[in-house]
Structure 1
Amino acid sequence: MKYLPIFTDLSGHWALLVGGNEDSARKLRLLLRTEARIRVVSAAPNDEISALAESGRIELLRRGFEDRDLDGVRLAIVGDAEALEIKDVAHRIRSTGIPTNVVDRPELSTFIIPGIVDRDPIVIAIGSEGAAPVMVRRIREKIESLLPVRLGVLARFAQSFRGAVSAAVPEGAGRRLFWERFFDGPVAQDVLEGREKPAREAMLRLVNGGAQSAPSGSVALVGAGPGDPDLLTLKALRLMQDADVIVHDALIGPTMLDYVRRDSLRIDVGKRAGRQSWSQDAINALLAEHAEAGRRVVRLKGGDPFIFGRGGEELAYLKARGIAVEVVPGVTAALGAASVAGLPLTHRDHANRLTILTGHDRNGLSDFDHHLLADPKGTLVIYMGLGAAPRIMADALAAGRAASTPVVVIAKATLPEQRVLKAQLGGLARLVEEQKVEAPALIVIGDVAALADGEIFEAADAGHRRLAV
C-alpha cells in the first residue's frame, strides 16, 4: 500500500488552493465542505471562485503564487499554476513539508484526494493510487447507492445518547451488544426514515428500562426480481446485507446470494419438480421460529412477493403471531421479461389491458376464464405455464382466439442464458416441447408479442422450423 489513508482535521486552519480554473473550482467545493479557512491564489479566477470571495467565504489573492501565501497553511492543493511552471510551484510548497496535492499529477503530490462518499460525520474514502480514477468513481457511485441518505443523521443521533448509554449499560460486551441491537433495530430504522421524535422516545425507553431485554426479531418479505441483481431495489439490498437469516426460493438469480451477509444463515426452501419440497406451512413456521428467536429474517423471493409468490399467506401468518414484518416489492417477472424482450405489455395500437395469470394453483393446473383468453385487446402473461402450454393453447383456441395470434415465450429473463422465442398461438405447445424450454419462463399471448425481439418459431405444413431474426 503506497498511500496510507488518513483523515486530516482542518477545522480553523488555513488550506491553500492555487488556481482559478474549473479543476480548481471542483477542489474548492470539496474544501468548502470542511471547516477550514480557505485561501485561493489566482490571477484569473473563474466566476464561481470570484463570487465566493465576494460573499466572504474564502480569501482570494488575485495574483500569482508567492511563498508568503503558505503562512499558517496546513494543506495545499494546486489546481493550475497559470503563468508559473506547475512543477516549480509544487516543489516550493512541498519543500516546506506542507502536504501537497497537484490535480491529476500524483507524481508531483505528497497526498492524493480520494473519491469521497459523504454522510457527515460518516465519510468513506476510495483510492486507487491514481491508477484508475474512473473505477474509483464507479465504486463511489455503488457505495452511494447502498448507504441511506440519513446515515449521518443516525450517527449524530447515536452520539447524542452516548453519555446516557455509558451510564446505563456496563462497559464491555453488554454495551457493544446494546449498540449492535440499536443500529440493527427499529429505533435506528425510524431515524433513517425521518421519524426522529418517536425514535428518541423509544431510545429513552431502551436505555432506561429495556437495555437488558431480549432483542426482537423481524421478517422482511423481499422481492429479488427476475434474476439480475442489478434490478434489486436499494432497500432490498440493504435488508439482505443486514439479515441474520436468508430464507430463499428456487427462482432467485444464481448470483443473488453473493449479495447477502457472509455470515448469514441461508436456507433453501425452493420448490423444484421431482424433488421433495418444503410445504408452505413449514416455511411459515420456519420464518416465525427465527424471528421469535430475535433474528432478522429475509424471505427472499423471485420477482415480487405479492405476484404469485405466496407473500400474502406469509404476511398473514406472521402478523397473526405478532411478528414485525414488512414487504419490499421487487421487479416482477412480467416486467423484467418484457424489458429484455423489448416487449411493451400495453400499447395504444395493440392492447389496452394486461392480465397476469398462473398456469398452476394449489389444485394443480389452473382453470382459465375463456373471456380473458378470447380478449383481442388484452395481453395475457402466464406464469408457471410451461407444463400447461398444451392446455393453454387449446383453451385459447376453443375460446375463439385466432391460431395466428402472436405469442412469445421468455425463459430465464434478465440472466445471461435468457431465451426469447416467438411463435403463433397454434404452435405454442410444439415450441415449448421442441425447444426444450426450461423454467422459469413466461408465456405472453397477444398482438404485442409480435413486437418482441427474439427468435421466430414458425409452423408449416411440413412441420415446424425456427428462423433466427
Structure 2
Amino acid sequence: MEIFPISLKLQQQKCLIVGGGSIAYRKAVLLQKAGAIVDVVAPEIEANLLEIVQQSSGQFLQHAFTESDLNCPYRLVIAATDVPEVNRLVFVLCEQKNLLVNSVDDIPHCRFMVPAIIDRSPLVISVASNGSSPVLSRQLRTQIETLVPQGMGALAEFSGQWRKRVKAKISNPDQRRVFWEELYASPLKEQVFAGNTETADLLMQQALDNWSIPKGEVYLVGAGPGDPELLTLKALRLMQQADVVIYDRLVSPPILDLCRRDATKIYVGKARSNHSVPQDGINALLVEYAQQGMRVCRLKGGDPFIFGRGGEEIQELFASGISFQVVPGITAASGCSAYAGIPLTHRDYAQSVRFLTGHLKEGSPELPWKELVYENQTLVLYMGLVGLERICQQLIAHGQRANMPVALISKGTTPEQKVVVGTLQDIASKVEAHQIQAPTLTIIGEVVTLREQLQWNERK
C-alpha cells in the first residue's frame, strides 16, 4: 500500500487553492461540500469560483502566488494553476512548512491525493489509485455508485443517532459489531431506506431489549485452489465477518487478504512431515475460540470435504455442542484441471473420474491398484508428488499401459501455475527437470491429450 487513506474533517477549517480557473473550481466544490473555508490566490478568478469563495466565508487574494500567502495556518493547500513552475513552487514551500499539499495532475508534487468520491453523507466512499489512473478510479466510482443505495446515507445517520445507546447496552466491541451486522441484515434497513423512522426506531429498541451475548460459531470454508475469483459469495461473506481465521498452507495470500482486516489470523499450515499445528490442536482451537463467543472461520484450501479432514473437525464441533456451517469450495481437481485445459471427463475418452490421495502411509502409497487400471477413466491424485514414481510403477505393474498420458499441475489457478505433460513411463523423471513443487495435482488418463487444444488459460 503506497498511500495511507484518511478522512479529514474540514468544517470551518481554512484551506488554500492556488489558481483561479476551472481546475481550481472543481477542487473548491469538494472543499465547500466538506464545510471548509476556501481561500483562493490568483491574478484572475472565474465567477463561479469566486461565488464558492464568498459562500464559504473565504477570501480572494488577487495577486500571483508568493511565499507569504502560506503565513496563514491552512489545513491543506491545492496547487491548481496551469503553470507547472508555480505548482512546483507551492509544493516545495508547503513541504518546508509541513502543510498537506496537492498539485493537480502532478504526482511527484503531491503529499495527498484527491480520490474519486461516492457521497452518501454521512457515509463517504473514496476510490484512489495513488494518482496513477484517475480515469480508472472514476470508472470504479461509477460502478460502486450503482451498488450503494441512496438510503445508505440515511442508514448511517440513523446508526449514529443510536450509537451511544447501543454502546451503553453492549460494552464489548466485538459483541457490538455482531449486533450491528445482524441489524443491517434485518428488515430495519429497508424501513430506514423508506423513511419510516418511527418503525425503524421501534425495531431498534426491540433489538436492544432482546439482545443477549451471542454464541460462538464455526464456518468451515473451502477457499478453492488459489485464484481468489473462484471463491463463492457465501465464502467471502463469512470470511469478512469472522472474528478469528484459522487457515492452512494451501490458502493463497490474495485470498487471506480478503478476510476481515482486524480478525485474528492463526496459521496452522500442514506440509509433508511438518505440521505446524497437529490436527488435534486445530480441533481444540476451533472449540476454544467458539466457546468464547467468537465467529471462527476455518479456511481450507480447495474443498473441506475432499481430502481436507473437514469431517473430522465438525465431528469435534458437534461433540462440543458448537454451531457450524460448511461452505463448499472448488476442489483442486476441478479448478486445476480447468485452468490447465484438461476436462476430467469426455464422451470419447473418459466416462468416469476417481479422486485419490497419493499421500504416503508408512513409506508406500496404499491404493486399490487393480481397480485403477481402466482405459476410459481419469485418475486424479492429490498429494502424490513424493510417491509419483512408485505410483506410476504400480499402475504399469498392474496392467496399465506405459504410454498412458499424465499431467502434473503445480500451483494450479495461480499466476505461478506450471503444467508438465508426460506418460506413466517418463513423468517422474520430469519432476526435477522442470522444478515441479508442491502443491501439485496429478491427472492420469487419455483426457490429458486434449490439453494441446484446450489450454485457454495460457493463451490469454
The TM tier, using the shorter chain, reads 0.5 to 0.7
Give, as a single letter, the amino acid of the residue that structure 2 aligns with 1:380: L
CA change 1:187–1:450 in 2 (3 A) is: same
> Match of 1:271?
270
Aligned mates of 1:193, 1:348 — CA distance in 2: 51
Give, as a single letter, the amino acid of the residue that structure 2 aligns with 1:293: Q
* Residue range with higher mean Cα deviation, 136-145 or 427-436: 136-145
> Match of 1:126?
127
Q: Would you say the 8 A contact 2:169–2:208 is kept in 1?
A: no
Aligned mates of 1:157, 1:275 — CA distance in 2: 48
Map 1:318-357 → 2, pairs under 5 A: 318-357=317-356
Q: Would you say the 8 A contact 1:379–1:446 is kept in 2?
A: yes
Aligned mates of 2:283, 2:356 — CA distance in 1: 24
> Match of 1:426?
425
Aligned mates of 1:394, 1:379 — CA distance in 2: 17
Q: Deviations over 1:289-341 (max 9, x none)?
A: 01111222111111111221111221222133222222222222122222332
- 1:180 paired to 2:181: no
> Match of 1:442?
441
Aligned mates of 1:391, 1:192 — CA distance in 2: 62
Counterpart of 1:289 in 2: which secondary structure? helix
> Match of 1:299?
298
Aligned mates of 1:151, 1:223 — CA distance in 2: 34
CA change 1:371–1:260 in 2 (3 A) is: same
Aligned mates of 1:173, 1:373 — CA distance in 2: 59
Q: Would you say the 8 A contact 1:122–1:152 is kept in 2?
A: no
Map 1:241-256 → 2, pairs under 5 A: 241-256=240-255
Counterpart of 1:360 in 2: which secondary structure? coil
The structural deviation recorded for 1:122 is: 5.8
* Residue range with higher mean Cα deviation, 418-427 or 260-269: 260-269
Q: Would you say the 8 A contact 1:154–1:192 is kept in 2?
A: no
* Residue range with higher mean Cα deviation, 440-449 or 346-355: 346-355
Q: Would you say the 8 A contact 1:153–1:192 is kept in 2?
A: no
Map 1:38-437 → 2, pairs under 5 A: 97=52, 124-126=125-127, 132-137=133-138, 139-140=140-141, 156=155, 159=158, 171=168, 174=171, 179-184=176-181, 188=184, 206-210=207-211, 213-360=212-359, 365-370=364-369, 372-432=371-431, 434-437=433-436
Aligned mates of 1:331, 1:263 — CA distance in 2: 26
Aligned mates of 2:416, 2:167 — CA distance in 1: 55
Aligned mates of 1:256, 1:92 — CA distance in 2: 51
CA change 1:131–1:275 in 2 (3 A) is: closer
Give, as a single letter, the amino acid of the residue that structure 1 aligns with 2:136: M
Aligned mates of 2:285, 2:428 — CA distance in 1: 38
Give, as a single letter, the amino acid of the residue that structure 2 aligns with 1:400: G
Give, as a single letter, the amino acid of the residue that structure 1 aligns with 2:180: F
CA change 1:431–1:333 in 2 (3 A) is: same
CA change 1:333–1:137 in 2 (3 A) is: farther
The structural deviation recorded for 1:420 is: 0.7
Q: How many residues align?
A: 356
Aligned mates of 2:390, 2:401 — CA distance in 1: 15
Counterpart of 1:409 in 2: which secondary structure? strand
Aligned mates of 2:361, 2:167 — CA distance in 1: 54
Q: Deviations over 1:214-247 (max 9, x none)?
A: 3322211122222233333343334333332221
> Match of 2:61?
none
Aligned mates of 1:267, 1:231 — CA distance in 2: 23
Aligned mates of 2:350, 2:189 — CA distance in 1: 39
The structural deviation recorded for 1:442 is: 0.6
CA change 1:141–1:219 in 2 (3 A) is: farther
CA change 1:175–1:268 in 2 (3 A) is: closer
What runs of 5+ residues in structure 2 fail to find an aligned partner? 10-31, 34-44, 56-79, 83-113, 191-200, 454-460
TM-score by length of 2: 0.62
The structural deviation recorded for 1:419 is: 1.7
The structural deviation recorded for 1:160 is: 8.9
Q: Would you say the 8 A contact 2:155–2:189 is kept in 1?
A: no
Residue identity (%): 43
* Residue range with higher mean Cα deviation, 325-334 or 293-302: 325-334
CA change 1:263–1:282 in 2 (3 A) is: same
Give, as a single letter, the amino acid of the residue that structure 1 aligns with 2:269: G
Q: Deviations over 1:151-184 (max 9, x none)?
A: 9689859949976x877x5748739666423134
Q: Deviations over 1:185-236 (max 9, x none)?
A: x565566999xxxxx99977752243xx433222111222222333333433
Q: Would you say the 8 A contact 2:220–2:299 is kept in 1?
A: yes
Note the aligned Cα RMSD (angstroms): 4.7
The structural deviation recorded for 1:453 is: 5.0
Counterpart of 1:312 in 2: which secondary structure? helix
Q: Would you say the 8 A contact 1:381–1:444 is kept in 2?
A: yes
Aligned mates of 2:412, 2:136 — CA distance in 1: 28
Aligned mates of 2:330, 2:290 — CA distance in 1: 26
What runs of 5+ residues in structure 1 fail to find an aligned partner? 7-73, 76-89, 100-105, 195-199, 455-469
Aligned mates of 2:176, 2:312 — CA distance in 1: 34
The structural deviation recorded for 1:439 is: 0.9
Counterpart of 1:174 in 2: which secondary structure? coil
Give, as a single letter, the amino acid of the residue that structure 2 aligns with 1:412: K
TM-score by length of 1: 0.61
The structural deviation recorded for 1:253 is: 1.7
Aligned mates of 2:232, 2:141 — CA distance in 1: 18
CA change 1:142–1:218 in 2 (3 A) is: farther
Q: Would you say the 8 A contact 2:305–2:311 is kept in 1?
A: yes
Q: Would you say the 8 A contact 1:410–1:441 is kept in 2?
A: yes
CA change 1:261–1:416 in 2 (3 A) is: same
Q: Would you say the 8 A contact 1:154–1:188 is kept in 2?
A: no
Aligned mates of 2:222, 2:334 — CA distance in 1: 13
